[in-house]
Amino acid sequence: MTAAVLPAPRIPRHIAIVMDGNGRWAKLRKRPRAFGHRAGVDAVRKVIEAALRSGVQVLTLFAFSSENWARPPSEVRHLMELFLRALRKETRELGDNGVRLRFIGERSAFSSDLQLAMAASESVSIASLKLTLNIAVNYGGRWDIVAATRAVAAEAKAGLIEIDAIDQATLERHLSLAPLPEPDLFIRTGGEARISNFLLWHLAYTELYFTPVLWPDFDATCFQGALNEYARRERRFGQTSEQIAEVVDA
Ligand code: FPP
C-alpha cells in the first residue's frame, strides 16, 4: 500500500525520528564511524523526500543530543563539519522544494559559523510551507521542559500571569516545538527501544515505532513500513475502543 491511498487522518501529521545506528553500520563495513555519519546524511535526504511525497507536514530529527558531547572529540568535530557542510549545501534546494528548516536545542554551545549557518537556513527557508523540518541539535527533552518552566516563572514574576492560571498550554507555548502539533509517530532506528531524552513532553500520546534497521539503511520503503504500521494503530488517548468507534462512525 502506498501512502497516497491511506485516508488522510491515517498519515501522521508530525513524525519524530531518533536516527540511530550510523556507527554500527560503518563498523560492519570496517570503516570509521565518520563514514557511517556521512551515509546517515544520505538517509536524511531520502526520508525528507519520502515525507514530502507522503504529505507529512512536520518532521523532527534528533541530530545531536546534549549527551553527544561526551563522544570522542574527533567524532564531535566531524559531526559539526558534516552539519555545517550539509546546511550550506542543501538549504536552498530544501527551501525550493517546500521545506522550512528550524533548529531546536541550545545552540549557543556551537561555533559561531554553525550558529550563523543555522540562522541563515532558517531565514532562507522561512516561506516554505509543505514540510517543516526541525533539526534537534544539542537538544534534550529535560532541558526543553526546564527552559520553558523558567520562561513561565519569569512571566509570573513580572506579573504577566497568575500562578493559578498556569496550565499545560502555558508551558507548551514555551517549549521549543511551539506552535507545532506534537508528534503522531516516533521512529527509532538501530534496534534500541528507548526515547533517550528526546521530546519528553511531546511524546505523551505519540505512537512509538522501533526498528532494528540501522539509520543509513532506512530508506523510503522502511519509511512506508512505519507509516503502514501507524495506520494500523488505534489511538485512544485514554478513551475506550468503543468511544473511538463512535467518533469514527459519527
Ligand atoms: C546515532 O548513531 C547518530 C548520531 C549521533 C548522529 C546523527 C547524525 C546524522 C544522521 C547526520 C544528520 C545530518 C543532518 C544534516 C541532520 P550512532 O553514532 O549512535 O550509531 P551507533 O549506535 O551504531 O554507534
3-class secondary structure per residue, 42-93: HHHHHHHHHHHHHCCCEEEEEEEECCHHHCCHHHHHHHHHHHHHHHHHHHHH
Would the pLDDT of 181 be above 60?
yes
* Rounded mean pLDDT, 25-37: 95
* Rounded mean pLDDT, 195-216: 97
* Rounded mean pLDDT, 53-77: 92
Which residues line ligand 1 at a C-beta cut-off of 6 Å? 19-24, 37, 40-41, 44, 61, 63, 68, 83, 86, 135, 190, 215
Q: What is the share, in percent, of the chain residues with pLDDT greater than 90?
A: 77
Most ligand 1 atoms within 8 A of CB, residue of 17, 18, 19, 31 to mutate = 19
Phi-psi region of 138 (alpha: psi -120 to 50; beta: other; left: phi over 0): left
Question: Ligand 1 atom closest to Cα of 24?
Answer: 23
More confident residue, 2 or 40: 40
**Measured between alpha carbons, how far is 27 from 44 in angstroms, rounded to an integer?**
20
Q: What is the pLDDT of residue 4?
A: 47
Rg (CA), the chain: 19
Q: Which cell goes with 84? A: 555545517
User: What average pLDDT does the chain have?
Assistant: 91
Q: Decide if 17 contacts 60 (C-beta within 8 A).
A: yes
Ligand 1 mean position to 15 CA, how many Å?
17
CA atoms in the 13 A half-sphere facing the CB of 188? 15
The domains found in the chain, sorted by start residue, are: 11-249 (3.40.1180.10)
Q: What is the pLDDT of residue 239?
A: 76
**Measured between alpha carbons, how far is 232 from 209 in angstroms, rounded to an integer?**
12
Ligand 1 mean position to 160 CA, how many Å?
41
Q: Which of the four pLDDT bands, split at 50, 70 and 90, describes residue 238?
A: confident
Q: Which cell goes with 242? A: 468503543
The pTM assigned to this predicted structure is 0.91
CA angle 69, 58, 21 (to 5 degrees): 40
Would the pLDDT of 157 be above 50?
yes
Q: Which of the four pLDDT bands, split at 50, 70 and 90, describes residue 3?
A: very low
Q: Which of the four pLDDT bands, split at 50, 70 and 90, describes residue 8?
A: very low
Q: Which cell goes with 70? A: 561526551
- Closest by CA to 3, choosing from 218, 207, 226, 180, is 226
Catalytic positions, written as ranges = 20, 68
